[in-house]
Chains A and B, each alone.
Chain A
Amino acid sequence: MVSKIKKKTLSFQDTIFNLQKYWSKKGCIILQPYDLEVGAGTFHPATTLRSLGPKPWKTAYVQPSRRPTDGRYGDNPNRLQHYYQFQVLIKPSPKEIKKMYLNSLSSIGINHEEHDIRFVEDDWESPTLGAAGLGWEVWCDGMEVTQFTYFQQMAGVECKPVSVEITYGLERLCMFIQNKKSVFDLIWNDEGITYKDVFHQSEKEFSAYNFEYANTDNLFKIFEMLEEETKLLVEKKISLPAYDQCLKCSHVFNILDARGVISVAQRAEYIARIRELTKSIGKVWIESQS
């Protein structure tokens, strides 16, 4: 059913380069990934914390994202416990953001006049971040390739001004561009290295760790320690290190969740605990901004 449409294939890394170049020209600071395990680009302090407070801010970066429960030992062509997001955050949201976004797609070979680009309602909420936003998931010929969100609230605080966040799912996007059915068949560079060469072993081993071997007794203890540390740092009013500890808490919780040792009721409780941490950090951060 899949016909062949000849085009020069844009590699995975070229896709990233093009997006970086495009958003750099639009005045964004190109940052590097945050060096902690996070569930999404939104958790990078360059989004979470920078979206709070009055100061303007424009950034774009790649963020490796970890979702332990989504691991499939490298067996599923569409699921990974570790994948990449390309994240753009601009505060205040510019008037021409939709045009900017559609042109960014052109920069990676997707012309909106040839493809059915749709903005489909998708309001976003992150219980652990105490965050909410309104926006869309963007579909390209039926495939979700981007999340497009106007933040209304972050860390329990109303966003003023409002930031816009654009999150490209890089693997999905590249599967679309390169016409691949499996994420592992993606062409990483022009030398023919594939996604499988780079990440298959990692998917297999981390799935085993997340689902089978992670020491849950220790992780429960680590969670408590990290939570305590976060609270202490909040008292000392140093928001960024406090936020680091909170991110670690969040990741520990995600692994415990993947290990299936957290009941439904406990789950809600843990999420509430992380949210409280985020909120207290948000307050300290905002104070530091004025």
Chain B
Amino acid sequence: MSELFVELFSEEIPARLQINARNELKKKIKNFFIDNKIKFNENFNVYSTPNRLVLHVDKIPNEIKLNSEEIKGPNVNAPEIALEGFIRSNNIILEKIFKKKTEKGEFYFFKKESRKIKVSDLLEKNLSEILTNIAWNKSMKWANYELYWGRPLKSILAIFNKKPLNFIFNHINSSNKTFIDKSLEEGMKIFNDFNSYLKFFKQKGILIDQNLRKKTIQNKINEIINKKNLKIEQNSRLIDEIVNIVEKPVVIVCAFDKKFLNVPSEILITTMQSHQKYLPTFDKKNNLTNNFFVVSDIKDTKGFVKLGNERVIEARLSDAEFFWEKNKIQNLIKQVDKLKNVNYFKGLGSYFDKIQRMRKLSSLISDDFLISKDKIEIASSICKVDLMSDLVGEFPELQGIVGGHFAKFQGFDKEVCLAVSEQYLPNGMESKLPKKMYSIALSLSDKLDSLVGFFGINLKPTSSKDPYAIRRMAISLVRLIVENEIKIKLKDLIVYTCSVYKDQGYEFDTKKIQNELSDFIIERLKNYLKEKNIRQDIIESSTYVLGLDNLLKAYKKSLCLNKNIKKETGFETIAAYKRSSNILNAEKKISIESLGFADPGLFKNDYEKKLYKKINDIRKYFLSIGKDENYEESLKILSSIKNEVNDFFDNVIVNDEDIIIKKNRLELLNMLCKTFDNYFNFSKIEA
């Protein structure tokens, strides 16, 4: 049993490309072994540092045996030249050829004997192609070469069974050597096995295994925060990035001047995390502290690294502080007028136009939400002012949040500040969801205005393109409504939004927008329900009748049925419905003018009467429930018809000779189905 060990040495490959390359290499190598029926240790690993992509597979046999097989040649009637070609290309002699009949006629064959193949030969033949097939998310060319790689590839080390594998990958010859010094690309050294390679670099403090690097960084950080009584935010994306931009991680504790803690913490955190890849720390009360972690790729023997990083953060934070001090005193109300000069979108006016629309919209919503009209109008008016600030220019990802801080500093109502701060939330499936009514109202009106606007100027997303992230906007709208259990008439709001646009001189086709946007939002609801692992047939049924105005109902009813569908209540409900609807469907061909009710006077037995009574009881239940329907209870009531339905079908023949009796019984079943529609249309549910 042998090991395969390959190292691809390159200039620094970015973190996310490394992760992608590791996965690709792993997949391609695995397929190679499986396709060639070579045994291998399936728990093999691919490692990477910024400069080294390393593959290590062990428990591979040195040879594989190929069974004998009959190789089919040309038809016996084919011209002689075809046979000659067959003999030549297979490198055999004429005597080995025999004829054999098949379904398609008689052909020449020869028998290839079983033989052994060296795995090293197979690898040498195939590695170049395997590497070519690695699909990079992003790749480049360099110098005069034709090769595409994440960053310039400098050398390939390839070992099998302690011996070098020789192959050519574009302009590079593989060997048993690699560079020791990744910076200057110097000091070629020979390696014959993976372990000595690992050991050699470990002695230099270089950890080839990314998981080990992660553990080392985390252990060191934990050690320090425990000692200092601090916390860090669990930010796995940042940690994973840091792990993949160093090869010998050294954790350094740095600090910035405490005076910067007066600047809103989101600004400090964004500066540290996204701009500098530092890890901020928090005290036990979750307040940001002035200590932060830098993961260096070098031991800071002279203190230069700490010093340098502290100077960088100091410069960046003074910049941020300068803007904060300048912007926070600029009166939000007085700046509203200036939004006239800031274009919102071509064809949809300026941001000033947008906030006028949002103001009207949120004001209407405030009636439903029972919140103060004045407050939500103020929030709408000031919510986009921060877009003109230097701070949002510097930190575009903090739009809204920064505005919230300005509002707070200028003494606006607490709920207004929060609404401004949360106006862009949620932003997609995973994002945080606002919970306060003012925030929800502002976010709703922002999203509705955008959706109606973009549909109005016909910039709907296509199946492949969504440059303005309109899908995400609609998904966020759905989440706002269903997760906060908001009861709202979206249809009316869309019509109203159109009329507000119209007041500003934008002529949209209201009917068209209403239909298209309605379908679009329902589609998003379906996706949303799918994400929640709701059965497809339940999703289809719930959204079949329950439209735009009932997103919350559709969501809750789906959730409830999905939960109960395998249980008695769900099962019995569907069984009762199906038994009835099947008969109705079968009789549909004979056209019956439905009256919508059965005539009790025509009942011939108790089973009909009992079923009729039960249906009416259920109808009374649905009439009695108001807005606070308990869907679980509704399902239970529906399923309780089980006995009456069973008795009816066991004892009554719908298909009576008397057409009037028959029709009356069909009316009864129709009543049952219609009653069930109070929950939703079960016809699409698969039993």
A-side residues, CB < 8 A to B, are 1-3, 5, 76-79, 92-96, 98-99, 102-103, 112-121, 123, 134, 136, 140-143, 150, 152, 161-162, 164, 176, 179, 181, 260, 263-265
Contacts and interface: CB of A to CB of B under 8 A. Distances in A.
Contacts of B257: 1
12 contacts: A5-B302, A92-B143, A93-B143, A116-B308, A121-B16, A134-B138, A141-B312, A142-B312, A142-B313, A150-B142, A179-B311, A265-B346
Contacts of A102: 183-184
B264 interface: no
Contact of A264 (B11, B15, B278, B343): B343
Contacts of A79: 319
Among A77, A142, A143, A179, the one with the most B-chain Cβ atoms within 10 Å of its Cβ is: A142
A119 B12 contact: yes
A42 B319 CA distance: 27
B461 interface: no
A141 B309 contact: yes
Contact of A142 (B138, B142, B255, B294): B294
Nearest to A133: B140
B624 interface: no
A227 to B, nearest CB: 22
B142 A99 contact: no
Contact of A150 (B14, B140, B313): B140
Contacts of B11: 98, 119
B220 interface: no
Nearest to B322: A76
A277 to B, nearest CB: 23
A118 B297 contact: yes
B318 A121 contact: no
Interface in B8-62: 11-12, 14-17, 50
A1 B302 CA distance: 15
B310 A1 contact: yes
Contact of B308 (A78, A93, A94, A142): A142
Contacts of A136: 12
Interface residues of B, number: 52
B343 A143 contact: no
A179 B303 CA distance: 14
B138 A123 contact: yes
Contacts of B309: 116, 141-142
A268 B304 CA distance: 43
Contact of A141 (B151, B304, B343): B304
Contacts of B276: 142
B266 to A, nearest CB: 21
Contact of A116 (B143, B152, B297, B314): B297
Contacts of A92: 142-144
B307 interface: yes
Contacts of B313: 142
Nearest to B300: A116
Pick the 8 closest A-B CB pairs, nearest first: A141-B308, A121-B14, A119-B12, A142-B309, A134-B140, A142-B312, A92-B143, A265-B346
Contacts of A264: 343, 346
Nearest to A69: B393
Nearest to B302: A114
A2 B309 CA distance: 11
